[in-house]
Amino acid sequence: MSSPEELIAEASRKAKKSSGLLSSLFGSSQQTKYEEAADLYVEAANLYKLQRRSAEAGHTFEKAADCQKQANSPDEAANTLVEAYKAYKTEVPIEAAQCLERAVEMFVKRGQFRRSATFKSDLGELYENELHDVKKAIQSYDDASEWYKGDSANALANKCALKAADLYCDDSIKNFSKAAQVYESIAKESLNNNLAKWSLKEYFLKAILCRLADSNDYASANACLNRFLQWDPSFETTRECEFATKLIEVVKNGDADGIANASKIYDKFSRLDGMKVRILNQIKSNVVEAPDQLEEDFT
């Protein structure tokens, strides 16, 4: 069996452009040479994968994709870039993201929006969890959501939109108004969906929290609360409604201690996750100039 390096050397020779009359008469066409070179690069890349040399595999898959593009095989090139992304993912996430961005661009040009949406969602997770680029993660999730909707995959679209909404609340973004709009929109869509209806109280609470975090807009938060009670009267009996109602009251009164106390009571029965704690800290910091951290209030 040839080594990856030997295969790459042979592929490089085949990928070199031929010139002159004799090569055109007796040699194979340049397109065929690119195809053969691509196959050799793919074979080498797979050998690198077997050797657990992920970065080399990713780089070699990229070379294969370039040859496939030269051979006028854009679908194959896009698929090979996906393989490069998979190879790079664990060791070189920035290279993985770049390869997947290129692949998605090619899929979109071919009108493959459902597939593009799936990979855009993967990109969002890569940017969010590995590269910690919140803005690019949001853009990826938003694109995926839009493309899923265009393919009538509403559940997947909403899943991506919710991920984007959560990131709009990140400390580096703080676009609480946009997040609130997303939570409210998805809640409205979920009213007649038996599978999603159980999540309504979570969407309602997040929307209200975001309205309060947006410059302590308790009037908008209260309007949301009343609207949600009209949409789903059963919300009134939930801890989320009780918590939201109390928060609106104490924010209106400028009571920072009231925010902490209401949060502690709610947290005893329904554990506050990290995102909600950050939003509550924002609400509290809007009430007093130098607040204690909310996490300290739980001790």
- The proportion of the chain whose per-residue pLDDT surpasses 90, expressed as a percent, equals 86
Residue 211 lies in a domain: yes
Alpha carbon of residue 268 to chain centroid: 31
Kindly report the average pLDDT of the chain as a whole number.
92
Nearest-angstrom CA–CA distance, 180 and 188: 12
Q: Which of 58-67, 186-195, 229-238 is least confident?
A: 186-195
User: Shortest CA distance to 158 belongs to which of 137, 184, 132, 135?
Assistant: 184
Residue 288 has pLDDT above 80, yes or no: no
Residue 197 has pLDDT above 90, yes or no: no
In the 8-state DSSP scheme, what is residue 127?
I
| Helix spans in the chain (H) | 4-15, 21-26, 30-50, 54-70, 74-88, 93-109, 113-125, 134-150, 154-168, 176-190, 200-213, 218-231, 239-252, 256-269, 274-287, 294-297
Residue 75 lies in a domain: no
Residue 26 has pLDDT above 80, yes or no: no
- Is 194 in a helix, a strand, or coil? coil
Burial of 20 (0-12, 13-18, 19+ CB in 10 A): exposed
Residue 268 lies in a domain: yes
Could you tell me if 277 and 289 are in contact, meaning their C-beta atoms sit under 8 angstroms apart?
no
pLDDT of residue 157: 97
Residue range 230-245, pLDDT digits in tens: 999 999 999 999 999 9
Residue range 97-124, pLDDT digits in tens: 999 999 999 999 999 999 999 999 999 9
With bands split at pLDDT 50, 70 and 90, how would you rate the model's confidence at 296? very low
**CATH classification of the domain holding 293:** 1.25.40.10
User: Shortest CA distance to 41 belongs to which of 69, 72, 17?
Assistant: 69
Residue 205 lies in a domain: yes
R_g of the chain, CA atoms, integer Å: 26
Whole-prediction pTM: 0.89
Mean pLDDT of the region 191-207: 93
In the 8-state DSSP scheme, what is residue 130?
I
- Is 193 in a helix, a strand, or coil? coil
For 282, the domain range is 176-299
Could you tell me if 283 and 251 are in contact, meaning their C-beta atoms sit under 8 angstroms apart?
yes
Residue 221 lies in a domain: yes
pLDDT of residue 29: 85
> How many other CB atoms are there within 10 angstroms of residue 173's CB atom?
14
Residue 102 lies in a domain: no
**Which residue type sits at 42?**
V
Residue 151 lies in a domain: no
Total count of domains within the chain:
1
> How many other CB atoms are there within 10 angstroms of residue 217's CB atom?
19
Residue 234 lies in a domain: yes
Residue 23 has pLDDT above 80, yes or no: no
- Is 98 in a helix, a strand, or coil? helix
